Structure 1
Amino acid sequence: MRVLVVGAGDVGSNIAASLDDDHHVVVIDTDPDRISSITYSHDVLAMEGDGTSIETLRDAGIERADMVIASTDIDETNIVVCGAAKAVSDPFTIARVRKTTLFGTWTQSEGAFGVDFMVSTNLQTAETIVRIAGLPGAHDVETFADGLVRMAEFEIGSDSPIAGETVSEADRFEALTFAALLRDSDVIIPQGDTEIRDGDAVVVIGSKESVRAFAGSLSPEPTLEDAREIVVVGGTDIGYQAARLFEAEGLEPRLVERDPGRARELAEQLPGTLVLESDATDIDFLVREHVDDSDIVVAALESDEKNLLVSLLAKRIGVKRTIGIVESGEYVDLFETVGIDVAVNPRLVTSEEITRFTRKQRTENVAMLESDRAEVLEIEVDADSVLFERRIQDAMAGLPAAVVVGAISRDGELITPRGETIVEAGDHVVVFVDTDVLETVIEAL
């Protein structure tokens, strides 16, 4: 497939890196430094030019393009790119936008703006926050098989109850599979005697109940269902969307916004949220409003530095868990080290959603882990699959070692896979795969 990516920032670069192994990727950007950087870092054709220009698109081979992905930081530019592409050819177009108003307009009018698929950065980020908030200690959470199967990634610290245990010792949950350990740059497919170490990230796949129970065994923090108090700091669009989604979960969050006009606006739009007009970086306010009793504080202010400050203040007064927006990807690890329990990067969330969509042409659902070091796929089994009417242990003998069948959904029921389990036609199989062998596994399954 020939893919044109317009915009070589964090989003475009991540998308190009995810696609360059299997597709012919052309990246367009107006910044010569970005073009130079991506030329040396990825196996793509990089061109300096204006993606809204039909001449530039023609130079990039728009007539032969199967897909155009507009991923600049400007919503209107991305929409114009898609419209220009449709004017001279008929590729599948994907646009990244921040404004949820534009996304709302697009969803109500099929094909609006010449965009075939649109990703709302702010909404995707808010959805990610709510998913992560639902499981204590989780750094990544996805659902599969119409919600029957859940995948989650947990960081293991030195004080974790399973640090130093073997996988067999830690495996105390009926409908749970330990799919992988992510250790430094290695992806480890665990055996029963594999030791879980401090610093590992553990990926588990199983029923919603088992994954929740596993999360509870790692941390005393409450799940979203048990959370008594959630505070969203910042009336940005991400903050508003997060509060709205928490309301949809039956919760009554509090939202802190400094600007009086914006606070009034949010109070009208969020009937289930208590909106407080104040500066959340004022520790006296945090103490006075008993923010220290909160189970979760979400920092969604307009700058990374303010989000870090709010998170540090929240932890200082006793808040159990903080989730913060970090726009600069290079700060994510640093901020998680010094004060934010989970840092969510909107650009990474967006690039993963776009890449996930391109993958879903061949699978039912996809989740990417650790910047696409590994993926979890949902695949419906048919007669062409290597799993069809075979025991899992027999089918896996012909596949790379870096593959784990984590769960099976059959007629709306969850089956925890074992070596003797026979896979049937129509089963939805949730599989962990190291991206180094992704194409081989997808072809076989």
Structure 2
Amino acid sequence: MRVIIIGAGEVGSNIAASFASEHHVTVVDVDPETVEDLTYSHDVLAIEGDGTDCDVLIEAGIEDADLLIASTDDDETNLATCATAKTAGDTFTIARVRNVNYLDTWNRSSRAFDVDHMVSPDVLTAENIADIVGLPSTLTVDPFAGGEAEMGEFELPEGGELVSQTVEEADRIDGVTIAALVRDGDVTIPSDRTTFEVGDKVVVIGRPDAIEEFSEAVTPPEASSEVEDVVIVGGSRVGYHTARLLEERGLGPRLIERDADRARELAGRLEKTVVMNHDGTDLDFLLSESVDEADTVVTALPGDETNLMMAQLAKGIGVGRTVTVIENGEYADIFERVGIDVDVAANPRKATAEEIVRFTQGSQTRGRIENLSLVEDQQAEVLEVEVDADSALGGRSVGDVAAELPEAVVFGAITRDGEFVAPRGETVVEPGDHVVLFVAADVLSEVSEAI
């Protein structure tokens, strides 16, 4: 596949790195230093130029390109780039936009702006935050099979029930499959004798209620497993969308916004959210409003440094868990090294890059893959496969199929007619089933061909 990426910032660079090994990738950016750096750091063709310039797109190969991704930090540039690309060919276009009004317009008419697929970093980030807020110790949660199954990634804290247990001892919750273990950044499929350690990340697949039960087992006894009080500091676009989504899920969060006009606007748009007009970094105010007793504090202020310091302040007054919006992915690691504690870092740029890669891979993959999630910087994927009469999975037991697949594959879940089926060795897969698989990246091609 021939891919053109407009914008070589964090989003564009991450996408380029993901595609470079298997596709012909050209990256266009207006900054000559960025172009030079990219030429040496990735196996891509880098061109200096403006993506809205048709001559530049022609130089980049738009007439033969299969996919154009407009990923600059400017919405209008991205939309204009997609429109320009359509004048030179029938390339599939993806635009990154922050202004949700553009997304709403596009959703009303999929032909709007000459954009074939649109991605909003703020909405994606808010969805990610809303998903993990309700499950203590969760780093990521993604739905599969119309919500009948989920993939969750949990970090094991000190004092948690699973620490020092073996996988065999921990694998006792009906409806949950322990798919993988992440230790020191490496993804492996653990054996029954593998012992969990503090700081391990565990990838599980199962029924939503069983995933919630697993979350309770991960959470230390002194920590609350029920999330009722969520405080959002910052009425940014991410802060607003997080509150809106939490309202939809039955929670009434509190939101602190310093700007009076923005606070009034949010109060008028959020029916179940208590909006407070104040400086969220004011310690006396936080204590007077009992923010120290909140289950989770989400920091969604302008600026990574402010968000990280706010998260540290929240932890310092006793908040159990913080979720911090960080635009620069390197900041979380840097601050962690100097002792600033971040429970969960939500990175809009990373979320956008992963969503674009996920969408593109899902649409390009041969076979019956309906949905996929990326695990730990694409070291593995969780795939949802729809089984039809011609599938190699149909009419065979899980044990027989697993014996023919690489060891780095785990059957996580099966759904049938909207019902969850726990995958066991003797379980027979039927046409119409949706099967959720954990697959290591190095065997992904082989598995895609086999199923």
TM-score interval, smaller chain:
over 0.9
- With over 3 angstroms needed to count, the CA separation of the structure-2 counterparts of 1:209 and 1:314, relative to structure 1, is same
* 2-structure distance, mates of 1:288, 1:45: 56
Per the TM alignment, residue 182 of structure 1 is displaced from its structure 2 partner at its CA by 1.4
Per the TM alignment, residue 158 of structure 1 is displaced from its structure 2 partner at its CA by 4.2
* 2-structure distance, mates of 1:62, 1:94: 14
| 2:341 paired residue number | 339
| 1:180 paired residue number | 180
| 2:361 paired residue number | 359
Alignment of 1:47-62 (within 5 A): 47-62=47-62
Per the TM alignment, residue 419 of structure 1 is displaced from its structure 2 partner at its CA by 1.7
| 2:231 paired residue number | 231
* 1-structure distance, mates of 2:37, 2:403: 41
Per the TM alignment, residue 287 of structure 1 is displaced from its structure 2 partner at its CA by 0.4
Q: Please give the secondary structure, in 2, of the residue aligned with 1:107.
A: helix
Q: Deviations over 1:172-226 (max 9, x none)?
A: 2011101001122432112211222233211000111111001001115445xx4
| 1:40 paired residue number | 40
Alignment of 1:38-437 (within 5 A): 38-219=38-219, 220=221, 221-222=223-224, 226-335=226-335, 338-361=340-363, 362=365, 363-437=369-443
Q: Please give the secondary structure, in 1, of the residue aligned with 2:319.
A: coil
* 2-structure distance, mates of 1:267, 1:185: 42
Q: Please give the secondary structure, in 1, of the residue aligned with 2:385.
A: strand
Q: Which amino acid aligns with 2:344?
A: V
* 2-structure distance, mates of 1:247, 1:422: 40
* 1-structure distance, mates of 2:136, 2:333: 19
- Identical-pair percentage: 53
Q: Which amino acid aligns with 1:13?
A: S
* 2-structure distance, mates of 1:39, 1:433: 31
* 2-structure distance, mates of 1:260, 1:186: 46
Q: Deviations over 1:3-46 (max 9, x none)?
A: 11111111111112222233222111122232233333333222
Which stretch shows the higher mean deviation, 121-130 or 392-401? Answer: 392-401
Given that residues 122 and 238 in structure 1 are in contact (C-alpha distance below 8 angstroms), is that contact kept between their aligned partners in structure 2?
A: yes
Which stretch shows the higher mean deviation, 82-91 or 268-277? Answer: 268-277
Given that residues 332 and 345 in structure 1 are in contact (C-alpha distance below 8 angstroms), is that contact kept between their aligned partners in structure 2?
A: no
Per the TM alignment, residue 250 of structure 1 is displaced from its structure 2 partner at its CA by 1.7
Q: Which amino acid aligns with 1:340?
A: V
Q: Deviations over 1:362-391 (max 9, x none)?
A: 421111111212111101123443322222
Which stretch shows the higher mean deviation, 39-48 or 50-59? Answer: 39-48
Per the TM alignment, residue 117 of structure 1 is displaced from its structure 2 partner at its CA by 0.7
Q: Which amino acid aligns with 2:173?
A: F
Q: Which amino acid aligns with 2:7?
A: G
Which stretch shows the higher mean deviation, 24-33 or 55-64? Answer: 24-33
Per the TM alignment, residue 163 of structure 1 is displaced from its structure 2 partner at its CA by 2.0
Given that residues 335 and 343 in structure 1 are in contact (C-alpha distance below 8 angstroms), is that contact kept between their aligned partners in structure 2?
A: no
Q: Deviations over 1:230-259 (max 9, x none)?
A: 111101111111111111112111110111
* 1-structure distance, mates of 2:206, 2:40: 40
Given that residues 63 and 89 in structure 2 are in contact (C-alpha distance below 8 angstroms), is that contact kept between their aligned partners in structure 1?
A: yes
Q: Deviations over 1:320-369 (max 9, x none)?
A: 11111011110123446622211100000111111111122142111111
Given that residues 323 and 345 in structure 2 are in contact (C-alpha distance below 8 angstroms), is that contact kept between their aligned partners in structure 1?
A: yes
Which stretch shows the higher mean deviation, 394-403 or 250-259? Answer: 394-403
* 1-structure distance, mates of 2:186, 2:304: 30
Given that residues 385 and 444 in structure 1 are in contact (C-alpha distance below 8 angstroms), is that contact kept between their aligned partners in structure 2?
A: no
Per the TM alignment, residue 66 of structure 1 is displaced from its structure 2 partner at its CA by 1.1
Given that residues 266 and 275 in structure 1 are in contact (C-alpha distance below 8 angstroms), is that contact kept between their aligned partners in structure 2?
A: yes
* 1-structure distance, mates of 2:157, 2:320: 16
* 2-structure distance, mates of 1:383, 1:335: 53
Q: Please give the secondary structure, in 1, of the residue aligned with 2:136.
A: coil
* 2-structure distance, mates of 1:172, 1:379: 26
- With over 3 angstroms needed to count, the CA separation of the structure-2 counterparts of 1:70 and 1:277, relative to structure 1, is same
Q: Which amino acid aligns with 1:135?
A: L
- With over 3 angstroms needed to count, the CA separation of the structure-2 counterparts of 1:300 and 1:211, relative to structure 1, is same
- With over 3 angstroms needed to count, the CA separation of the structure-2 counterparts of 1:368 and 1:292, relative to structure 1, is same
